[in-house]
């Protein structure tokens, strides 16, 4: 029976190594794009590692320097001896174009990724046959490996002229001045909030944070509903509520029938047509929910990929972050803050990979209650400063009526505390709790307090 070899291309590997010896700029490119593991032949792995180490000491690496490096470390025989080295040295002799070199790099990456896929699934099959680990653990391992392989495909040195970036900024400023919003952004449906943020863009990691009972889940649910009415597909992971609870909130929002009436079933005959019409509208909404409790980051990543691929969703929300696990339980030897930091970073990467906005609902710490000013700040984000660091947009909700009986009980202030792509400011909304409904504030002159911010980082 003929042995089946893993995908590889030795000619391309030898050509890349040879070209790197004749053109230092190509070696620099290869170091950015490749690792030793991208070479199939063990001899080539040693040679590439040696060239990379030499490059760290000198900008120009040639055959003489490489040969001396290998001799000092007794590696000549391990790389095939002097005849094989001579074959590599003579292979290109400087006559290689950047375009051909890029083609060889693509071949190496393609073969390496295929080997990674084969090894991952071979190991997964072995673990499944051994039947020592539970199925969820095996799937977690496989998903993590495949996710790491996917991230390798995104690794690329993509230099962009600063002038082109500046032109894009100018176009965006002109669009904002004329009232236009980025075509790729998804809008929340709250006009004044969208005026500040420019909507949520693909790849953005958005945090919505508040103390309990402010209405942060209802706020995000309203955003889903507003997008759905515009035909924009969205998805929500609810780690706390049941599917029925979420649907009941949305039904109250859509039918204008109080939540407590729907919950207790005290509806009147005249309410049925209104409820039926609301249900008909909900049936047409491209809004998808997942209510798996105890879900971990790997399952969320897997399900997020599937819902984006199957339904084309453009925004995903998670309610709420503090209920998530790193791997079906607390990470080994990890504090909760460290675990949440890894979750935050993983979700930010996932947003970029999928090209969707991901919104994470978060609690803020109890320290807010100890201050005279009860408004939350970014420093209050519960359990992890990584949320503040990773997020592209942070929205902090504050309901004055929780602490001041004379305040308008429907008032909720939404502070855009961080916005990498635009300005900051505070927007006022009405929140009608009985109906789970947020609407734009009606007093135009008090709706937005713009904050000048030349460096929104």
Domain ranges of the chain: 10-153, 171-451
| Contacts (Cβ under 8 Å, ≥6 apart) of 456 | 418, 419, 420, 421, 422, 423, 424
Determine the Cα–Cα distance for residues 145 and 216; give it in Å rounded to an integer.
34
Count of Cβ atoms closer than 10 Å to residue 230 Cβ: 10
To which residue do tokens 């047509």 refer?
A: 273
Determine the Cα–Cα distance for residues 69 and 37; give it in Å rounded to an integer.
21
What local confidence, expressed as pLDDT, does residue 353 receive? 85
The answer to whether 407 and 432 are in contact (CB under 8 A) is no
Determine the Cα–Cα distance for residues 273 and 336; give it in Å rounded to an integer.
49
Which CATH class name applies to 10-153? mainly alpha
What local confidence, expressed as pLDDT, does residue 339 receive? 81
Handedness of CA 223, 225, 227, 233 (dihedral sign): positive
The answer to whether 313 and 356 are in contact (CB under 8 A) is yes
Determine the Cα–Cα distance for residues 405 and 387; give it in Å rounded to an integer.
32
> How many whole angstroms from its chain centre is CA 324?
15
What local confidence, expressed as pLDDT, does residue 323 receive? 83
What local confidence, expressed as pLDDT, does residue 454 receive? 42
Is 0.95 topped by the overall pTM? no
Q: Measured between alpha carbons, how far is residue 203 from residues 262, 308, 356, 391, 403 in Å?
A: 37, 13, 5, 11, 36
The answer to whether 398 and 374 are in contact (CB under 8 A) is yes
What local confidence, expressed as pLDDT, does residue 333 receive? 63
Q: Does domain 171-451 have CATH number 3.20.20.80?
A: no
pLDDT averages per 10-residue partition of the chain, 457 residues: 78 92 84 89 95 84 90 93 90 73 92 93 94 85 78 59 75 70 82 91 94 91 95 92 89 90 86 90 93 80 87 92 66 70 87 92 84 85 75 94 86 93 90 93 54 41
Determine the Cα–Cα distance for residues 191 and 424; give it in Å rounded to an integer.
15
CA atoms within 13 A on the CB side of 416: 29
What local confidence, expressed as pLDDT, does residue 166 receive? 76
What local confidence, expressed as pLDDT, does residue 3 receive? 63
């Amino acid at each position: 029976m003929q042995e089946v070899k893993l995908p590889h291309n030795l000619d391309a590997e030898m050509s890349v190594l040879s070209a790197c010896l004749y053109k230092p700029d190509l070696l620099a490119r290869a170091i950015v794009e490749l690792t030793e593991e991208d070479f199939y032949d063990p001899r080539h792995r040693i040679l590439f590692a040696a060239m990379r180490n030499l490059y760290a000491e000198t900008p120009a690496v040639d055959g003489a320097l490489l040969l001396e490096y290998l001799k000092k470390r007794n590696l000549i025989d391990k790389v095939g001896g002097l005849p094989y080295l001579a074959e590599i040295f003579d292979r290109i002799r400087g006559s290689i174009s950047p375009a051909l070199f890029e083609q060889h790099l693509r071949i190496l990456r393609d073969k390496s990724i295929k080997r990674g896929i084969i090894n991952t699934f071979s190991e997964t099959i072995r673990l499944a046959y051994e039947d020592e680990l539970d199925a969820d653990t095996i799937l977690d391992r496989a998903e993590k490996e495949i996710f790491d392989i996917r991230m390798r495909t995104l690794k690329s040195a993509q230099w962009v002229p600063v002038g082109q970036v500046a032109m894009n900024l100018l176009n965006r400023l002109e669009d904002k001045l004329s009232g236009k919003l980025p075509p790729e952004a998804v809008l929340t449906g709250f006009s004044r909030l969208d005026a500040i943020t420019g909507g949520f863009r693909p790849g953005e990691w958005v945090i919505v944070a508040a103390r309990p009972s402010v209405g942060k889940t209802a706020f995000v649910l309203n955003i889903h509903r507003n997008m759905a009415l515009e035909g924009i597909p969205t998805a929500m992971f609810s780690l706390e509520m049941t599917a029925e609870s979420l649907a009941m909130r949305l039904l109250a929002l859509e039918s204008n029938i109080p939540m407590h009436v729907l919950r207790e079933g005290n509806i009147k005959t005249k309410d049925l047509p209104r409820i039926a019409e609301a249900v008909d509208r909900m049936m047409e909404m491209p809004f998808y929910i997942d209510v798996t409790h105890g879900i971990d980051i790997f399952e969320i990543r897997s399900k997020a990929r599937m819902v984006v691929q199957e339904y084309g969703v453009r925004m995903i929300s998670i309610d709420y972050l503090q209920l998530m696990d790193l791997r079906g339980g607390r990470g080994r030897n990890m504090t909760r803050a460290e675990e949440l930091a890894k979750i935050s970073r993983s979700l930010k990467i996932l947003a970029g990979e999928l090209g969707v906005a991901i919104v994470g609902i978060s609690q803020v710490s109890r320290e807010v209650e100890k201050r005279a000013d009860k408004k939350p700040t970014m420093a209050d984000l519960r359990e992890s400063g990584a949320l503040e660091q990773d997020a592209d947009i942070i929205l902090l909700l504050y309901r004055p009526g929780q602490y001041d009986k004379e305040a308008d009980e429907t008032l909720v202030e939404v502070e855009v505390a961080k916005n990498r792509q635009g300005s900051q400011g505070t927007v006022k909304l009405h929140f009608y709790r009985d109906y789970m409904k947020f609407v734009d504030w009606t007093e135009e002159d008090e709706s937005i307090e713009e904050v000048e911010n030349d460096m929104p980082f």
